[in-house]
Amino acid sequence: MTSKQPQPATSHHVVIVGAGFGGLETTHRLKGAPVRITLLDRRNHHLFQPLLYQVATASLATSEIAWPIRYLLRDRPEVTTLFAAVSGVDPVGKRVLLDDGDSVAYDTLVLATGARHAYFGHDEWEPFAPGLKTLEDATTLRRRILVAFERAERETDPLRRAALMTFVIIGAGPTGVELAGTIAELAKDTLPPDFRNIDTHSARVVLIEAGPRVLAGFPDDLSAYAQRSLESIGVEVVLGQAVTECSTDGVVYGGKTLQARTLIWAAGVRASSAAEWLGAPADRAFRLQVNPDLTVPGHSEIFAIGDTVTINGPDGKPIPGIAPAAKQQGRYVAETIKARLRGETLGPFRYKHAGSLAQIGKRKAVIDFGRFKLRGAIAWWIWGIAHIYFLIGLRHRLSVAISWLWIHARDQRAARLITQGSSKVGR
Ligand SMILES: Cc1cc2nc3c(=O)[nH]c(=O)nc-3n(C[C@H](O)[C@H](O)[C@H](O)COP(=O)(O)OP(=O)(O)OC[C@H]3O[C@@H](n4cnc5c(N)ncnc54)[C@H](O)[C@@H]3O)c2cc1C
């Protein structure tokens, strides 16, 4: 048991907003530094977002991919964890403002508040086509997918039944591809023996992408492989078609209406409000444009990192919004804070891209390590091992490994629970 050691009131106070990949890494890397840390998050858990789609598709349980933040920092007496939502920053008074009217003073501030999905000016589509960012989003999607099959089981009208058994995913980036592949496997491998009135093999999974190919961030050959793999498990891939309407009836693209009761949005990204809080420059996705040392222009004591910022990498292109980028930035900011306290300065942040991975289905994945590329079963094993490695703690690693082995061997997805919310389709 850790004993509580009061910190000197005069020690430098670092406030970190957001306990995602970036904020948590900053906190970890500040261990041993002569600072007090306050870590604020509006959720009480750190979430491993790369596996959220597995919760949405009933492959993993919520507790397998999330950890209470307080628990993760139980051995760090200098870190105070606060469950609070930030609604602004007062850079003159050096205070973080909370949505309940409270505020927290800082000497150095790190904003690591991430991003959410964006609907390209059509926020009214969100109720019909929810996105995937939080545990609540994942359980909402899981409920919608499972309820659609349940309702189809007792639907006698063939057209209504077909709409219930049509699942549309909008956006063919890694999340869209992973969702489409897993929903197809759920329908074709897991569910068939459990239903009496419907043949779940006949479920349609339609992946709609406005661009010319799936996994646009990957090289052409891996993207073509991903498309072939999706089609081989029954996913209908529609390319070069922008969605122009989402409603309870379905989706409109290319002037056609596709009747579907389950729509999932995996298309756009919008940064948190960090740039707005500071009146700082931002790009079209509201990502704060930071200085090369990740400070906010005009505020050398405020850093911003991860998905909520934009900065170019060594190739002159914006650094991708992925977990390793957020972690590298978190590590750099911690080192910069430590250097400043020693009276030193560090050079600019340099991003190193380790590779891109996406899973398509069972035993199918693509990996782009730059110099060499992998696809198929070997890529799938590497994808699985890498994800297990990056989970926190032995219990979670073992639990996820066992869940995956079970799916692999038996096609059973144990987390098929319909919880909370309405039993009506599309709610
Ligand atoms: C479905 C999905 C799949 C993904 N798959 C991959 C993948 O396979 N590989 C990969 O590398 N990356 C993947 N990513 C991207 C990766 O998760 C992000 O790049 C990464 O989480 C960014 O880290 P971050 O610290 O910037 O933000 P986050 O990890 O999103 O953390 C932000 C934190 O800030 C908190 N917060 C936000 N606003 C406030 C506020 N106002 N007050 C208090 N707290 C606040 C949030 O609760 C959250 O805990 C995926 C993302 C999603 C959504």
Residue 46 CA to ligand 1 centre (angstroms)? 9
Please measure the distance between the N-terminal and C-terminal CA atoms of the chain and give it in whole angstroms.
45
> Does residue 7 have a pLDDT over 70?
no
Residue nearest to atom 38 of ligand 1 (CA): 113
Atom of ligand 1 nearest to the CA of 24: 25
Q: What is the pLDDT of the chain when averaged over all its residues? A: 94
Q: How many residues does the chain have?
A: 427
- Nearest CA, atom 17, ligand 1: 49
**Whether residue 361 has its Cβ less than 6 Å from ligand 1:** no
Q: Rounded CA gap, 257 and 248, in Å? A: 12
Average pLDDT over residues 178-195: 96
C-alpha 5 – ligand 1 centre gap (Å): 32
The pLDDT score that the predictor gives to residue 416 is 85
Lowest model confidence (mean pLDDT) among 296-300, 370-374, 375-379: 370-374
Alpha-carbon 308 to chain mean position? 13
**CA 53, CA 58: separation in Å to the nearest integer?**
9
SS3 401: helix
Mean pLDDT along residues 110-130 = 95
CA distances from 140 to 43, 53, 277, 420 (A): 17, 11, 30, 8
CA 285 from chain center: how many Å? 16
Model pLDDT, residue 238: 98
Ligand 1 centroid to Cα of residue 308, in Å, is 9
Is pLDDT above 90 for 153? yes
Verify whether ligand 1 is closer than 6 Å to residue 324 (CB atom). Answer: yes
User: Distance between CA 193 and CA 410 in Å, rounded?
Assistant: 12
Active site residues: 178
| pLDDT the model gives residue 413 | 80
| Ligand 1 centre distance from Cα of residue 21 (Å) | 7
Give dist(CA 353, CA 207) in Å, integer.
28
Report the candidate in 319, 349, 338 with the shortest Cα–Cα distance to residue 27. 338
Q: Cα–Cα distance between 268 and 131 in angstroms, integer? A: 9
- Phi, psi (degrees; rounded to nearest 5) at 163: -65, -40
| Distance in angstroms (rounded) separating the CA atoms of residues 277 and 17 | 13
The alpha carbons of the chain give a radius of gyration, in whole angstroms, of 23
* Residue in 113, 290, 359, 389 to alter for ligand 1 test, most ligand atoms within 8 A of Cβ: 113
CA distance 107 to 77: 19
Confidence of residue 147 (pLDDT cuts 50, 70, 90): very high
Could you read off the pLDDT of 54-71 as tens digits, one per residue?
999 999 999 999 999 999
Mean pLDDT, to the nearest integer, of 93-117?
97
**How confident is the model at residue 1, as a pLDDT?**
37
State whether the beta carbon of 398 lies less than 6 angstroms from ligand 1.
Answer: no
Whether residue 50 has its Cβ less than 6 Å from ligand 1: yes
What pLDDT does 3 receive?
44
pLDDT per residue as tens digits for the range 265-292 = 999 899 999 999 999 999 999 999 999 9
Contact present, 20 and 31 (Cβ < 8 Å):
no
At 353 the pLDDT is: 92
